[in-house]
């Protein structure tokens, strides 16, 4: 296990899960760098904030001098790069932040990492890793059959996925041009505890519990492969510690579901554990589809299973039951996150 890992975006949904896992289950020192945008939440890190193996910096990955100082102060053995703008709807409304963070931020981080890596001893240079975490959305949309593999051509269809595709290409280029020991992983849709309420599953839970209309795009027949966040965390650590530099690994949950199936399953669970006079599914409301809504994503995770012995522990039913249970037990966190989210949508200045 690596002695020091620098995690960008460590106050976000996946990043905070990585940080909590590393502090709780390994001896690795974690340096968390996060800009603390609307999607970040330091409450997700309360369990680790007093650890002597944890350091947090409110910093922007676009800030070259600031990032250089953090690298020199903590001398990481690896970078796990998760910092990104990641919500498709927001990228449609305002793509500038996605270009800035996902492309220029990744470029800046690559340059600082290359400068730092070049100055390491030969032994530490050999062991250093830069792991860039991306998305299956860079591959575009699948038809009724087939799966995304590591060799699937890129065909991004939203400003978000285009910005992530660009950052993937930059990471690959820094390997081919400069020899930087990089790794790339492309994951399917994550879900689980502490997820920002703009995402489908926590949004549905919130709407259902407040007896509000549950919006479903189009006919709800868009298909996604769902990956429980703790399974993704295990994959990321397996890749950064055991993956081969220059390689790409696709990470999926083997759980394809139509969006309407996801919504109805949440309603079914709530009917059982928090019954109401009327079924929660009565709240489902179909709304106009969003522009460029990809029809289907599905990951072939054969490579990471074969080469790194990783497979998801949770199927969709078990993972969703754990997720709904967590949200029911953490209503205070959820309400604060939703208030912050709603304030952001109204253009209000609300503290993270």
Strand partners for 158: none
Contact of 297 with 165, CB cutoff 8 Å: no
Strands 256-258 and 223-228, by their bridges, are: antiparallel
Catalytic member of 137, 225, 230, 256: 137
Q: Which of 60, 136, 225, 265 is catalytic?
A: 136
Main-chain phi, psi angles of 248, to 5 degrees: -115, 140
Q: How far apart are CA 324 and CA 292, in angstroms?
A: 29
- Distance, in Å, from the CA atom of 320 to the CA atom of 157, rounded to the nearest integer, reads 28
CB-based contacts of 252: which residues, under 8 Å, 6+ apart?
Answer: 136, 187, 188, 225, 227, 298, 299, 300, 301, 312
Asked if 160 is an active-site residue, the reply is: yes
What is the CA 252 to chain-centroid distance, rounded?
A: 12
Total count of residues recorded for the chain = 352
CB within 8 A of 87, min separation 6: which ones?
39, 160, 198, 199
Active site residue 137: yes
Number of neighbouring beta carbons within 10 Å of residue 287: 12
* Residue from 160, 194, 249, 327 carrying the catalytic annotation: 160
Among candidates 246, 199, 251, which has minimal Cα distance to 225? 251
Going along 214-345, which residue ranges are E strands?
Answer: 214-217, 223-228, 248-251, 256-258, 284-287
Residues annotated as catalytic are: 136-137, 160
């Amino acid at each position: 296990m690596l002695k020091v890992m620098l995690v960008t975006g460590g106050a976000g949904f996946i990043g905070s899960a990585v940080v909590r896992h590393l502090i709780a289950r390994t001896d690795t020192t974690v340096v968390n760098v996060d800009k603390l945008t609307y999607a970040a939440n330091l409450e997700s890190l309360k369990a680790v904030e007093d650890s002597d193996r944890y350091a947090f910096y409110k910093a922007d990955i676009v800030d070259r001098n600031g990032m250089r100082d953090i690298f020199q102060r903590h001398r990481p053995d690896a970078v796990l790069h998760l910092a990104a703008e990641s919500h498709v709807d927001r990228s449609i409304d305002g793509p500038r932040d996605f270009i800035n963070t996902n492309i220029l931020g990744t470029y800046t981080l690559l340059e600082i990492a290359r400068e730092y890596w070049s100055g390491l001893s030969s032994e530490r240079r050999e062991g250093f890793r830069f792991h860039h975490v991306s998305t299956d959305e860079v591959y575009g949309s699948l038809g009724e059959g087939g799966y995304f593999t590591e060799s699937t051509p890129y065909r991004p269809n939203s400003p978000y996925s285009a910005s992530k595709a660009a950052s993937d290409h930059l990471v690959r280029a820094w390997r081919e041009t400069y020899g930087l020991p990089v790794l790339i992983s492309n994951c399917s849709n994550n879900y689980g505890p502490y997820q920002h309420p703009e995402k489908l599953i926590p949004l549905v839970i919130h709407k259902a519990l407040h007896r509000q209309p549950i919006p479903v795009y189009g006919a709800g027949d868009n298909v996604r492969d769902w990956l429980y966040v703790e399974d993704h965390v295990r994959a990321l650590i397996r890749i950064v510690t055991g993956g081969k530099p220059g390689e790409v690994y696709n990470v999926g949950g083997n759980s394809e579901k139509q969006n309407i199936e996801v919504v109805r399953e949440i309603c079914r669970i709530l009917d059982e554990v928090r019954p109401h006079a009327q079924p929660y599914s009565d709240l489902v409301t179909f709304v106009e589809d969003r522009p460029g809504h990809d029809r289907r994503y599905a990951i072939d995770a054969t490579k990471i299973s074969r080469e790194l012995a990783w497979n998801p522990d949770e199927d969709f039913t078990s993972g969703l039951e754990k997720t709904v249970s967590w949200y029911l037990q953490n209503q205070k966190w959820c309400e604060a996150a939703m208030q912050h989210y709603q304030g952001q949508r109204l253009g209000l200045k609300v503290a993270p």
